[in-house]
Structures are given as structure tokens and as C-alpha cells.
Amino acid sequence: MIVVMKVGSPEAEIERINSEFEDWGLTPEKIVGKHKVVIGLVGDTAALDPLQIEEISPWIEQVLRVERPYKRASREFRHGEASEVIVSTPEGPVIFGEHHPVAIVAGPCSVENEQMIVETAKRVKAAGAKFLRGGAYKPRTSPYSFQGHGESALDLLAAARDASGLGIITEVMDTADVEKVGEVADVLQIGARNMQNFPLLKKVGAQDKPVLLKRGMSATIEEWLMASEYVLAAGNPNVILCERGIRAFDRQYARNTLDLAAIPVLRELTHLPIMIDPSHGTGRAEYVPTMAMAAIAAGCDALMIEVHPNPAKALSDGPQSLTPERFDRLMTELSAIGKAVNRWQEPATVLA
Ligand code: PEP
Ligand code: MN
């Protein structure tokens, strides 16, 4: 249920109403929007009558039921306003959200060694990326595939962060590693295979770093939003959703089916920012630019692109990784679409 307060409602009145809700056994959450304050009410509200709640204060404008099973993630919970996920990076905050430039995240599938991660970071930064991605802990289908260098790769990510000024996005697979990964990562990634790892979702929900929640490979949109609800319910409001392709019947030409329809669907259902990953979405470097452009045209808030200095030698996901040169060109191509939809920020020019 949400309680929409009138413009100019006194703070003391909002507090009084909230403590009344707490007395009823509900959890009120104050959401300060651009124009209005909304109180989100979570708990057993089924028996409550919205009209009766409206009576408890003359400052209440309206009381509405949230009909969706996911409450905090629903668009209604914020009275229609998009949320902004503000991520701090060495060069200042980057905002993910519907009314901000498309944020570009780029880097290799896995962190392989210091030289490659630092070199890639510098290259993608110069092309306009704001974040470096790269896995230290890799969720691989086969136990015989490269599993990532683990903890030592976190130090390499820290070195790349220092050398480039980029923010770091990296995956955490185990509840036991959340704190350690959070010391280096500016955003914690939950991979597709862990989208419904509920203990992990609760754990990242109980810490402060923003969370990038990838869609499970066979997850419905509702299951995905319910997974985000776990993070939000545990107290972390900073969740970014990432569509990375779903499994369909035809895997002959593309690894997955990138569900770009998820962009307008999510826009209607949730206030959370939307990222698109055309690298895992297609599995083929030659298809990545087209789908990246389509994603921006369709209104995504961020893109995740795999880039490797030598894709032929990559320890994971080489076939879907762009070379730094191709990534440079892609950024020029994306800028045309990004400018057309008024969502593009040129990289700062570095004077030699
Ligand atoms: C990744 O980002 O490298 C990754 C493993 O992605 P996903 O969880 O989407 O497969
Ligand atoms: Mn990968």
C-alpha cells in the first residue's frame, strides 16, 4: 500500500503517521520524490481500508493499493517516479536511471592478469566507459572450465581502479565473500545463475554497495522482480536490473535470446534502472554492436559490454568479446543513437 502525502506536508506529521503505522505492525518507508513524499507500507495490509487510512491525517492526499506481488520494486511503490541509483567511483558519482545518460560498463569476462585488466580499463575509460567489469569469481557451467583467479583477482581490480579511475563491477557468488568483494567493488554483481540464491540476495541486501541483479537464464520477469524484492526488503534500495538473454529453443546462431522487450515492460512495472548485456545476450561479438544500439534506442539506462585485448586468447567468453578497437568504434556508433534519444554524455577529453 502507498500513502501519498500532500505537497508541503510537515515533517512532524509524516513522523506521527509513520509511528501510527508502526503501532499497527506495519513497516512504513518514506520515499522522497521530486514533487511529493510517499509512504510505502509493507506488511499485512489486506484487511486495511484505504479510505479509512485517508482519515488519519488531513495531509494525506491518497492511499493506493500496490496490486503486484513485488511491492518495493513496483513502479507504484514510488508513485510512478523512476529511482536513481547513485554509485560512487574514484572520479565522482555516476547515476543510473531513466533520466540520466546511458552508463557504459565494459571489460573482460574474467580478470586474467594485471597487465590485461589495467590495459583494458584504460582503453575502455578513454572510449567513454564509466565502469570496468571483470570476474574474479566465475560461475562456470563446467567445473573443468577456468573458475576465475578468486581473491588475488580482486587486488588486480583494485589496481585497475586506481590506474583508470573507473568504478568496478564484479560478481559475488558466495555469501562468505560479500564483504571481501565489497571492499573492491563499487557495484556487486549477482549473476544469472544466482538470481534465485535467496541467502545471497538477503546478504547483499543487508550491505551498502549497490547491486546489479542479472536475470536468470530461464527466469520470468516476475521471478526476476521478486528476486530484486529480496534485496530491497533486506534494506538495500540500490538495485540495477540487467537483462542478459534468456534461453529459448534456438541456440544455433545466438547463445541466448536477448529480451529487449523487457525494457518497455520493466519500465512500466518497476522504478529500478535497466541495464542490457548484449555480450551474454548473443554470445557472438559480431552481433553485439547491433543489439547495443537497439538497446539504447529502446530506452535502456546502462549497457554491459565484454571487451578483451585479445579475444582469441581469452580464458572465458572470447567469442563474444570485442577488441578495444571495435569497442572504440562501437562507442562512436552508440553516441549517434544516444544523442538522438538525449541520453549521451561524451567522455571528457584528455589533454596530452
Ligand atoms: C558475466 O557477467 O560474466 C556472467 C557470468 O554473466 P551471467 O551471469 O549473465 O551469465
Ligand atoms: Mn562472461
Would you report the helix, strand and coil content of the chain in percent, each value rounded to 5? 35, 20, 40
Q: Is the CB of 139 under 6 A from ligand 1?
A: yes
Q: What is the mean pLDDT of residues 324-342?
A: 98
Name which residue sits closest to atom 10 of ligand 1, judged by CA: 192
Residue 34 has a pLDDT of: 84
Among 187, 258, 277, 303, residue to substitute to test ligand 1 (most atoms within 8 Å of Cβ): 277
Residue 33 has a pLDDT of: 87
Q: What is the mean pLDDT of residues 164-172?
A: 98
Residues near ion ligand 2 (Cβ under 5 Å):
109, 317
Q: Which atom of ligand 1 is nearest to the CA of 277?
A: 9
Residue 349 has a pLDDT of: 67
Q: For 89-123, what is each residue's pLDDT tens digit?
A: 999 999 999 999 999 999 999 999 999 999 999 99
pLDDT for 352 beyond 60: no
CB of 200 within 8 A of CB of 213?
A: no
Q: Tell me the CA end-to-end span of the chain in Å, nearest whole number.
A: 56
Q: What is the mean pLDDT of residues 234-249?
A: 97
* Amino acid in position 310: N
Residue 346 has a pLDDT of: 86
Residue 105 has a pLDDT of: 98
Q: Is the CB of 278 under 6 A from ligand 1?
A: no
CB of 161 within 8 A of CB of 136?
A: no
Specify the higher pLDDT residue, 61 or 349: 61
Whole-number Å distance between alpha carbons of 5 and 214: 34
Q: Which residues contact 58 (CB under 8 A, 6 or more apart)?
A: none
- The average confidence (pLDDT) of the chain is 96
Residue 84 has a pLDDT of: 97
Q: Which atom of ligand 1 is nearest to the CA of 214?
A: 9
Q: For 296-313, what is each residue's pLDDT tens digit?
A: 999 999 999 999 999 999
CB of 69 within 8 A of CB of 62?
A: no
Q: What is the mean pLDDT of residues 164-183?
A: 98
Q: Which residues contact 146 (CB under 8 A, 6 or more apart)?
A: 110, 138, 140, 315, 316
Residue 350 has a pLDDT of: 60
Q: Closest ligand to 217 CA?
A: 1
Per the listing, cell 538522438 goes with 340
pLDDT for 351 beyond 70: no
Q: What is the mean pLDDT of residues 324-336?
A: 98
Q: For 1-44, what is each residue's pLDDT tens digit?
A: 999 999 999 999 999 999 999 999 999 999 998 888 999 999 98
Q: What pTM was computed for the model?
A: 0.96
* Amino acid in position 235: G
